[in-house]
Amino acid sequence: MKYFSTHKKSSSVNYKDALIRGLAPDRGLYLPEEILPYPQDLMQSDTYWQMADKLAQNLLNDEIESEALSKIIQDAFNFAVPVKKIHDFNYVLELYHGPTAAFKDFGARFMARCMSYFLEQESMKVTILVATSGDTGSAVAKGFYQVPNIDVVILYPKNKVSPLQEKQLTTLGHNITALEINGTFDDCQHMVKEAFMDQKLNDQIQLSSANSINIGRLLPQSFYYFWAYQQIMPNQSMVFCTPSGNFGNLTGGILAKRMGLNIKQFIAATNVNDVVPEYLTTGQYRPRPSIATFSNAMDVGNPSNFDRMLAIYGSHDEMNQDILGYKVTDSQTLAIISSVYQNYNYLLDPHGAVGYKALSDYRKERGDEETPIVLLETAHPAKFGEVIEKATGVLPEIPEVLKEALTKEKVSIEINAKYEDLKNYLLNR
């Protein structure tokens, strides 16, 4: 299978090259030239990794040897992926049972193992450059930790990630370096993109990305939509509600639908950084500086994967048929965390609360109380203990996978939000 650039000014490449490059030479993002139908026996899978393996074999069987790909899948997805009913026809897909307690584990672990497979064959060394607004950095750090031939440099905005998230970013060491940027996530993302476009830098260092701009992160984000459907198996189409920042998670769902999954509608739930919901309503795309919120992983003012969404749909009208956007404020987020906990004894993290508010608004607007809606719960509530306690009076228990990071010392390098400062670090480290 070949992958084309969304800007359509660069040649198509194979999966290996798309994975290692991250960003196309014309600054576009890679997408598969064709989206294959999912295997007919997919819904008979007994476990999550078996389902993921069938999907991966269908997508990548011409690039990674079958036995090696199965090993990658089993190793990457060695944790639970439960689907739970909150109440009535409202379900939650818990994507936070991996080693960093966030959905980014799915993409980061799969990508790391695929990249290691190719680098071992090529005897190459790569520097992974990644910007994070919260969970991406910790998932990438853990996923690539001590992976041979790979160094990881993570940019994160100073004082704009939760204390626990910061600990996860800054305490591993070895081949992982955390750069604390005096700016916003959008600054971090801009600096990373500038690095990829700097030909002189790329002549000296082999760079790759682990943000959701990388197709290696995106493909596995389509797998769990199938799993949620199989666990519920309705006799009708389903709606998925996806809390969204850079929109990689929702784009994974779009790929699943294009593979044939019976999805009626996507609900794109954002906090006040509502660039995409505004576009869906008005047809105008107006990127702008991000605003800090309780749901910090969604504090994105210029979502990278919007380019992919446009490339897939081709027009505002076509996108609008599949996706409805909703904006949720911090005060609404707190109110939802409190009410869902009190009424249904279920604890949502701030991102999940944004999603739950959006699906509730969708039901009211449509008068639809019986279509199954699956909310993608993207992070463990314990990562946002202060917010949860403020909303409910309850401090969530920290899971074992997160406790270890809290005992370690933070180690980061603080730099200004200027590309030249990042370039100097990369060349002189």
- Range of the structural domain that residue 303 is part of: 80-103+218-400
Confidence band for 84, pLDDT divided at 50, 70 and 90: very high
Reduced 3-state DSSP string for 169-223: HHCCCCCEEEEEEECCHHHHHHHHHHHHHCHHHHHHCCEEECCCCCHHHHHHHHH
Query: How far is residue 96's CA from residue 292's CA, in Å, rounded to a whole number?
Result: 22
- The two structure tokens encoding residue 322: 């599949």
Confidence of residue 265 (pLDDT cuts 50, 70, 90): very high
State the pLDDT at residue 168: 86
Give the chain's domain count: 1
Which token pair is 287?
A: 């990127």
CB-facing half-sphere around the CA of 370: CA atoms within 13 A: 2
The verdict on residue 129 lying in a domain is no
Task: Report pLDDT for 186.
Answer: 86
Average pLDDT over residues 104-123: 90
Query: For residue 264, which phi and psi values (nearest 5 degrees)?
Result: -80, -45
Q: Within a domain: residue 2? A: no
Local structure of 161: helix, strand or coil: coil
Average the pLDDT over each of 256-260, 286-290, 355-359 and give the range with the smallest value: 286-290
Two structure tokens written together for 285? 């795309």
pTM for this predicted structure: 0.90
Instruction: Find the CATH number of the domain harbouring 354.
Output: 3.40.50.1100
The answer to whether residue 317 is domain-embedded is yes
Burial class (CB in 10 A: 0-12, 13-18, 19+), 8: exposed
How confident is the prediction for the chain on average, in pLDDT?
93
Query: 209 pLDDT exceeds 90?
Result: no
> Does residue 346 sit within a domain?
yes
List pLDDT tens digits, range 19-70: 998 889 898 999 999 999 999 999 999 999 999 999 999 999 889 999 999 9
Place of tokens 């990658």: 72
Using 50, 70 and 90 to split pLDDT, how confident is the model at 76? very high
Task: Check whether 277 has a pLDDT greater than 80.
Answer: yes
In a domain, 118, yes or no: no
Q: Is the pLDDT of residue 110 over 90?
A: yes
What's the confidence (pLDDT) of residue 264?
96
152 assigned to some structural domain = no
Examine the pLDDT at 213 and tell me if it is beyond 90: no
Q: What is the mean pLDDT of residues 212-228?
A: 94
Would you say residue 229 lies in a domain? yes
26 domain-assigned: no
The predicted structure's pLDDT at residue 405: 82
pLDDT band at 13 (very low <50, low <70, confident <90, very high): very high
- Furthest C-alpha separation in the chain: 60
Q: Determine the pLDDT at residue 89.
A: 96
Rg of the chain's alpha carbons, rounded to an integer? 20
pLDDT per residue as tens digits for the range 20-33: 988 898 989 999 99
